[in-house]
Structure 1
Amino acid sequence: MDAVIKNFPRAEDGQALDIKRPTQAEVEAAVRTLLLWTGDNPDREGLKDTPRRVAKAYRELFGGYGQDPATELGRTFEEVAGYDDMVLVKDIKFHSHCEHHMVPIIGRAHVGYLPDGRVVGLSKIARVVDIFAHRLQTQEAMTAQIAGVIQDVLNPRGVAVMIEAEHMCMAMRGIRKQGSTTLTSTFTGSFKDNPEEQIRFVTMVRDGNRG
């Protein structure tokens, strides 16, 4: 049966759309068409089940569209014994897909925030990264989205996000430069207003990654 995805998020601007999800048969037919377009035979033994496998894989790889990152941040803790300094979760490994060519982006995110009376479970920060990564993305948008939802839901004194990633659209096609890394960062609140806090965040990220 056809399904309608309600409040389907658009990665580029966070707006919501109602989009009709194609049927399993339609997805498999589309994959079969792509196989024919490559010049291969979708009826040969090795490719007979590929359309079904690709459809299943895409449900997992792009599962972030059906998840709400704000919900993950909904439960917070106020018993922090007066702690109000930076909370930093480093080296959150992720894989995403470029929205321009639908090829992998592989990287790691570093997320810090300055709590204002409450904190969130550390695994929730990683989960937010994972949800946004499991959508078609640009690295710039993903960086801003992570910072934005943490700022909006937790309302901390500031949020800092840094992402380092390799884009397969550069490594596998076009210019074909393997090993090139793209770095993006964004800051809100106290991090944005105070360059010293930015430096402290970057220093804490880098100190643990030397050697």
Structure 2
Amino acid sequence: MNASLAEHYREILVGVGENPEREGLLDTPKRAAKAMQYLCNGYTMSLEELINGALFESQNDEMVIVRDIELYSLCEHHMLPFIGKAHVAYIPTGRVLGLSKVARVVDMFARRLQIQENLTKQIADAIQHITDAAGVAVVIEAKHMCMMMRGVEKQNSVMTSSVMLGAFRESSATRHEFLQLIGRLG
């Protein structure tokens, strides 16, 4: 636990009018610092260490999709959570990525201060870099607490962002197949 970070949380408590010495808040600065370090642990990860050689030869050249990968991130503007799911697809060119690694790539980038648009692109670019796929597609759907708890307070709003690379960008049929398979086309 970072003592300096805990001290900042203590000052936040004072700043909002709380007494950090009251019983319920005595350990809150330490707990909050520890939680923030966990929520931002993506900064301590590298793509190479994360993948750890989990690329496997394969003759498959058809679309691979991992749907409904839950994600939790923090908005870089308000440091409030956004919560949602990612759908990731790629078209292999001789190598496939270990299944759990797709979810780990999502987590690595989600566990940083983010905006959803950048998160979507970072995931797509990383999968492209790792696999050298013929194409990569990422769609993220998320609810943003900064929009739900404050500001306009729209409780049912969902933001959708997408990035299409290679064959997914170039071929409307490939893009359509992906969107149909993740249930985003009727």
Give the TM-score, by structure 1 length: 0.84
Matched, 1:122 2:99: yes
Gaps of 5+ in 2: none
What is residue 22 of structure 2 aligned with on the other side? Answer: 44
Describe the SS at the equivalent of 1:89: strand
Q: What corresponds to 1:104 in structure 2?
A: 81
In structure 1, C-alpha distance between the alignment counterparts of 2:73 and 2:37, rounded to whole Å: 13
Whole-angstrom CA distance in 1 between matches of 2:172 and 2:148: 34
**AA matched with 2:104:** R
Determine the structure 2 residue equivalent to 1:195.
172
1:17-28 to structure 2, matched below 5 A, reads 24-28=2-6
Deviations, residues 21-62 of structure 1 (Å, cap 9, x unaligned): xx8332121111100111111110000110111111111111
Corresponding residue to 2:32 among 43, 48, 54: 54
The one-character-per-residue Cα deviations of 1:71-103 (angstroms, maximum 9, x if unpaired) are: 33343111x3x3210000000001100000000
Number of residue-to-residue matches in the alignment = 185
Moved over 4 A (4+): none
Cα displacement string for residues 128-157 of structure 1 (whole angstroms, at most 9, x for unaligned residues): 001111000000000000000111121110
- Flag structure 1 segments of 5+ consecutive residues without an equivalent: 1-22
**Paired residue type of 1:27:** L
The DSSP-based 3-state class of the residue aligned with 1:43 is coil
Whole-Å Cα distance in 1 between the matches of residues 179 and 160 of structure 2? 12
Pairs within 5 Å for 1:41-190: 41-73=19-51, 74-78=53-57, 80=58, 82-190=59-167
Aligned equivalents of 1:70, 1:86: Cα separation in 2: 23
Bigger shift: 165-174 or 63-72?
A: 63-72
Whole-Å Cα distance in 2 between the matches of residues 47 and 198 of structure 1? 51
> Conserved in 1, the CA contact under 8 Å of 2:60 and 2:93?
no
Residue 66 (structure 1) shift? 0.2
Structure 1 vs Structure 2 CA RMSD: 1.6
Whole-angstrom distance in 1 between the partners of 2:158 and 2:49: 31
- CA distance in structure 2 between the aligned counterparts of 1:62 and 1:200, rounded to whole angstroms: 34
- Asked if the contact 1:70–1:149 (Cα under 8 Å) also holds between the matched residues in 2, the reply is no
CA contact (8 A) 1:96 1:133 kept: yes
